Chains A and B, each alone.
Chain A
Amino acid sequence: MANTVFQKPHALCDVPLHYCPGCTHGIIHRLVAEAIDALGIEGRTVGVASVGCSVFTYNYFECDMVQAAHGRAPAVATGLKRAEPNNIIFTYQGDGDLAAIGTAETVHSAARGENITIIFVNNAIYGMTGGQMAPTTLPGQVTQTTPYGRDPQYAGLPVKICEMLSQVDGATYLERVAVDSVAHINQAKRAIEKAFRNQVEGKGFSLVEVLSTCPTNWGKEPAAAMEWLRENMIPYYPLGVYKDKYADEKGGSK
């Protein structure tokens, strides 16, 4: 008898994803779906899609979905959660959405301790609009709107969301992970599942920042993009748990 040890999770729709070859959104989608499967919550989960490359996530998850305006996903999620507190509500947002136009919604949903799960995909660039500077674009990084490299004297410095939110008392769990290697993907899987489990257990606001690639707008082959992430993003955005209110509990932080 053969056992299937790896396959598409049920919560991920059986449709082709529209992402570019090698785009890591697909990996992160799968990790989210695996968490939903593992916790058996598909029937009571509602996802909130944001604006950016991941806008079509509403077509990719088997659970009910709502598409939010740019940056407003945490506010929409707040409404969904307050309306149906037993439902599991997650948002899936990119860096432009969450860390630029939606900064207020991000900070204040954390401050309120909303019992929601936020998946924050940081690939240091605006993908959908064709590769402009993001709030998380690294110093010196070339984008369409920083053609000579991001000059911190002129365009400022990146926003570090996990570090920033770690100072917000209302937040429960903040972890930064990456999807550049199998080991890191497995860690990301644990973090995402934990961010959902926290909500199931009523523990409050959980956000997982996932360092991700954008091969197309970075102008790199998929494997080279992974390497670039490893060599440039991880040093600037160190991986790890930035906050875990329940770290001392059994099943808390690693």
Chain B
Amino acid sequence: MSEKVLMKGNEALAEAAIAAGCRHYLGYPITPQTEVAAYMAKRMPKIGGTFLQAESEIAAINMVIGVSSAGKRAMTSSSSPGIALKSEGLSYLAGCDLPALVVNVQRGGPGLGGIQPSQSDYFLATRAGGHGDFHMIVLAPATVQEMADFAIKGFELADKYRMVTMILADGVLGQMMEPVSLDFGEIKQFDKPWAAVGTNGGRRHNIVNSLCLEPTQLEQWNIDRYKRYEQVMANEQRAEEYMTDDADVICVAYGATARVTKNAIAMARAKGIKAGLIRPITLWPFPKKIVGAAAKKAKAFVSVEMSMGQMIEDVELSIRCSRPVLLCNRSGGMIPTPEEVLAKIEEASKMGGAD
């Protein structure tokens, strides 16, 4: 076992990004992700990297586009309103097939909302990162260790599929301190023959571009991109299953709410209710195979969220609405209590039935 250090989630993520070979962090201050920027501001100058505080979220994501166009690993982090500003850049990254790591430490919305933890950017991350047909790989950490591990994984997936990886965290995970191992083993790197780094007189010019005025060609670009997305859907669905083997009621929860839900499951089991948890680790691609398979045995589902009900749609789609799905939710920065989750589990246990 490698040595563990006590770190905040935001800082562990930043240190892991550096371990992944990221030497360019471009950001703009916003609560509650400021520790990522502050950590990078301290570390980057000491390792020959670049920390740049941009004039806006929009400029920051476009600087990421510049670094990524040059074939280097680049990242930015922000929180919900700032991520909305980055939407344009996210779409251009997708249109140019550029990899990047984007961290969203979510806070309550809409509008300026609040600064407390939230999961209300689920739709933004999985459905509508920006204009046009595209997806991002979305990873949802639930521990400080995962905040770190997913930075490594996020860069690998981004480079492998030439996509944006978004780490969808929340204020709880960002601020929370836990012991974390920073031994990540071998870091995979990828060739980038498409990068705009200068022809050096040796080849035709590379063009990093998303414009295409020829409809048949633009459609073909989209089709080709979606073929890559199909590979991602086939290969990269991840979820943690917790006490699902015999479960009648399956909770689905990611990130901080998954931690609360595990407590509620223990309470339910003590009352004789067979409850379990599926914790999606990839929100896009959503672990449809795992959730879908669970519907063969479980009688009912509970989607536990810090939003007005967003992920619940993916749960219903994954099981083709074959079982009742209840929503257990808080919003505005409120976190569901184990008692609230337990109450929904109890309600769900009285519903549905075997086929």
Contact = CB atoms under 8 A, between A and B. Distances in A.
Interface string A78-90: 1111111001000
Interface stretch (B34-42, B54-62, B119-127): B54-62
Interface in A172-224: none
B164 interface: no
B299 interface: no
Contacts of B26: 79
A88 to B, nearest CB: 8
Interface stretch (B182-190, B194-202, B332-340): B194-202
A44 B199 CA distance: 6
A87 B64 CA distance: 17
B67 A79 contact: yes
**Chain A binding surface SS class:** helix
A78 to B, nearest CB: 5
Nearest to A72: B62
A159 interface: no
Given A66-B209, A80-B70, A82-B24, A108 B199 contact: no
A55 B211 contact: yes
Contacts of A87: 70, 197-198
A65 B209 contact: yes
Contacts of A252: none
A68 B98 CA distance: 13
A119 interface: no
Contacts of A68: 62, 65, 92
A84 B206 CA distance: 15
A202 to B, nearest CB: 16
Nearest to A41: B198
B90 to A, nearest CB: 11
Interface stretch (A56-64, A134-142, A145-153, A229-237): A56-64
A92 B42 CA distance: 34
Interface residues of A, number: 35
A66 B69 contact: yes
B52 interface: yes
A43 to B, nearest CB: 4
A79 B201 contact: no
Nearest to A107: B55
A76 B63 contact: yes
Nearest to B68: A79
A45 interface: yes
B181 interface: no
A128 to B, nearest CB: 11
B66 A75 contact: yes
B72 interface: yes
Contacts of A59: 207
Given A69-B92, A80-B196, A63 B63 contact: no
Given A42-B199, A44-B200, A84-B198, A66 B66 contact: yes
Contacts of A171: none
A63 B59 contact: no
A218 B206 CA distance: 35
A104 interface: yes
B255 interface: no
Contact of A44 (B59, B67, B198): B198
Given A61-B205, A80-B66, 11 more contacts: A43-B201, A43-B202, A46-B198, A64-B207, A65-B196, A66-B196, A76-B69, A79-B66, A84-B70, A105-B55, A108-B55
